[in-house]
Structure formats: C-alpha cells, structure tokens
Amino acid sequence: MPTTILLDCDPGHDDAIALFLAAGNPDIDLVAVTTVAGNQTLEKVTRNALAVATVAGLRDVPIAAGCDRPLVRTPETAVETHGESGLDGPVLPAPRLIADPRHGVDVIIDTARSHAPGEITLVATGALTNLALAVRLAPDIVDRVHEVVLMGGGTAGGNWTAAAEFNILIDPESAHIVFTAGWTVVMVGLDATHQALATPDVVERIAAVGTAPARFVVELLDFFGRSYLETQGFPHPPVHDPVAVARVIDAAIVPAERVPLTVELTGTHTLGMTLADRRGPAPADCRTFAATGVDTDRFWGLVVDALERIGDPV
C-alpha cells in the first residue's frame, strides 16, 4: 500500500524535486499540495508549484496557497539561493492547473479529517506556518496524522545562521508549535540533507533519463549548483527537500534517532536552532526523531526512478 501524503512546500529548486519524487514514486500517493511563503513570496511559490505540477503531469491533485508570512517574524526570502522567481533557471511552462480556492490551512485540515486516523502523513519542506495554524485551528488532526516528516533544522549547526537552518529560522514560533503538538515529528535536517549532493555523476544520471521533466530538473540543478557555490561555497549543491520524501518512501534510506528536540525561540545567536537533548536514552514517550544521514546512492536512485516513471508529460 502506498503512503498517503500531503506536501506543504515553498518551491524552491529542491521543493520542486521533492514534488517530482512524490509524483513519480509508486509508494507515495500524493493527495494534496499546499504552499507557504519562504523561498519566495506566497504568490511566486504557488505559481511555481502549479508550473512544476504541470511539468510532472499532476492533474488531479489540489494545490492551495497557504500563509503569506510567518506567525510573528518579518518575512524573509531565500532570493540568493533560488533567484527572483524562486525557481530561476528553467523556463516555467504556463500552468495547466489552477490553484484550489481553499486556504492551504483548510486543505491540511480537510485532508487530515477526510482520511482514516493514521492514514495521512504530512510532509513539510518549507516554513511550518501552515502546519502550525492547522493544528491550532483543529487540534483533532493530531490523532489523525500518522506523522509529520519535515525538512528543517539539524543537530550540528545551521545554514542561515551558525545555529539555525532556513525553514526553522524564518518561522521558529510555528516550528515550536509543530514540534510540541503531540504527533510524531521526524526532522530531516542538515545532518542528512548536507549529504544529498547533486554531484556531476548524479546530474548525468538524471540527464540520461532524456525526458522533458528530467531536462527541467537538470536546469534546476544547474542554477542551484551555481547559487550554492557562490553563497555557501558548496562545490555541489545539497538537495534538501526530496530527502524528506525519501524518508517516507523507505525509512532505511534516511535513518533517524529518537531524541527530544526543542526549537530555540529566544537566543541572541541561536534563534531557530533545533536543540537535540542527547543526555541518556530518550524518554519512552519521546515522539521526535532526527535524521542522521542518507544512503545517497539509493536516494538518487529513487529520484531517477521517479523521473523515468513520470515520462514526458509536459
């Protein structure tokens, strides 16, 4: 049985690849996509989600715009990494889909309530604003969601500050709400995603698929590679967000440790840090997990396989 997921995202180059993986993998049933301001404005990331869904041949999956800013903080984008459009590089096709008129937060609540308890997994690859509002508005969804798998955080430092990762830093209050809601949270953070590097060999494997969606991904990686080199000095870019989807597909590819996690909300230098408490074994009621690494060969194998299955539908 495939795992039913809702993907909450801010495309974003790596979010786009997460969408391709979710769309093409046979063990995932993608039932809804929601967007959140982050890498770019809500308007831009929603347009990008619709364009990527068009390239991936998704036709019947609702795509709804969610929150246009963090709960408390001043909005911050990642224009240095993802460009003015949020998805600079490839030419974006005119979307063949239109956005669902519902608010993304309502789509999260409706989707959780319309599935049997334990059936739906929420995958988040942007700031956690939509999930935080959903769980505040409808606390009953905690018991309906199988688990929340999110790309964000890390236990050994950040990428946007020395302590904090972008998705957590830009809306730490929402992250706190999500981490403490009482559902299972799997944090797929930098400890894992900084291993998921798009090396030239990986780019060649994707290019060899030879389809329009694969070419689109190669163009995404070309821009992403250049921006990661310029902004963070990575010779090959870490492709964060699809690692969260890979965790849902096969937990063995992205192993995780059970460990209490706290989001720093007041630190002068550590705002948005995700602190792992490794003093002794985790308490039996601990429901937070932190990814420890990724089997890169199998991970990229999943991405290539998903693109092969998607074929050429633009």
121 touching Ca ion, by CB under 5 A? no
Return the number of other C-beta atoms located less than 10 Å from residue 25's C-beta. Answer: 24
CB of 204 to ligand BDR, least distance (A): 23
Structure tokens at 147: 């688990």
- Specify the residue for token string 């590089």: 89
CA distance 226 to 220: 10
125 touching Ca ion, by CB under 5 A? yes
Q: Which is nearer to Ca ion, 87 or 310 (CB)?
A: 87
Q: Which is nearer to Ca ion, 11 or 213 (CB)?
A: 11
Positions in the binding site for ligand BDR (CB under 6 A): 12, 14-15, 39, 78, 81, 125-126, 151, 159, 165-167, 240-241
How far are the Cα atoms of 8, 225, 231 from residue 234, in angstroms, in the given order? Answer: 26, 8, 8
**Per-residue x/- mask for Ca ion, residues 214 to 243, rule CB under 5 A?**
---------------------------x--
Closest residue to ligand BDR, judged by C-beta, is 166
Return all residues near 237 (Cβ < 8 A) that are at least 6 apart: 197, 198, 221, 224, 225, 227, 228, 229
Q: Which is nearer to Ca ion, 6 or 282 (CB)?
A: 6
Segment contacting Ca ion (CB under 5 A): 9-17, 197-205, 211-219, 296-304?
Answer: 9-17
CB of 114 to ligand BDR, least distance (A): 27
CA distance 221 to 205: 12
| Residue 176 falls in the annotated catalytic set | no
CB of 22 to Ca ion, least distance (A): 13
Among the options 146, 176, 236, 240, which is catalytic?
Answer: 240
CB of 141 to ligand BDR, least distance (A): 23
Q: Which is nearer to ligand BDR, 114 or 232 (CB)?
A: 232
* CA angle centred on 273, ends 290 and 249, rounded to 5°: 30
Q: Which is nearer to ligand BDR, 76 or 308 (CB)?
A: 76
Q: Which is nearer to ligand BDR, 30 or 282 (CB)?
A: 30
15 touching Ca ion, by CB under 5 A? yes
What are the backbone dihedrals phi and psi of residue 29, each rounded to the nearest 5 degrees, phi first? -115, 100
- Nearest alpha-carbon partner for 251 in 156, 180, 172, 146: 146
CB of 81 to ligand BDR, least distance (A): 5
CB of 22 to ligand BDR, least distance (A): 14
User: Which of Ca ion, ligand BDR, none lies near 166, with the C-beta cut-off 5 to 8 A by kind?
Assistant: ligand BDR
- Nearest alpha-carbon partner for 207 in 195, 196, 220, 197: 220
User: Which of Ca ion, ligand BDR, none lies near 110, with the C-beta cut-off 5 to 8 A by kind?
Assistant: none
* CA angle centred on 195, ends 287 and 236, rounded to 5°: 145
How far are the Cα atoms of 17, 162, 243, 248 from residue 298, in angstroms, in the given order? Answer: 16, 30, 11, 14
What are the backbone dihedrals phi and psi of residue 123, each rounded to the nearest 5 degrees, phi first? -110, 125
User: Which of Ca ion, ligand BDR, none lies near 300, with the C-beta cut-off 5 to 8 A by kind?
Assistant: none
DSSP string, 180-228: TSSS-EEEE-HHHHTT-B--HHHHHHHHTT-SHHHHHHHHHHHHHHHHH
Catalytic positions, written as ranges: 240
Binding region for Ca ion (CB under 5 A): 10, 12, 15, 125-126, 241
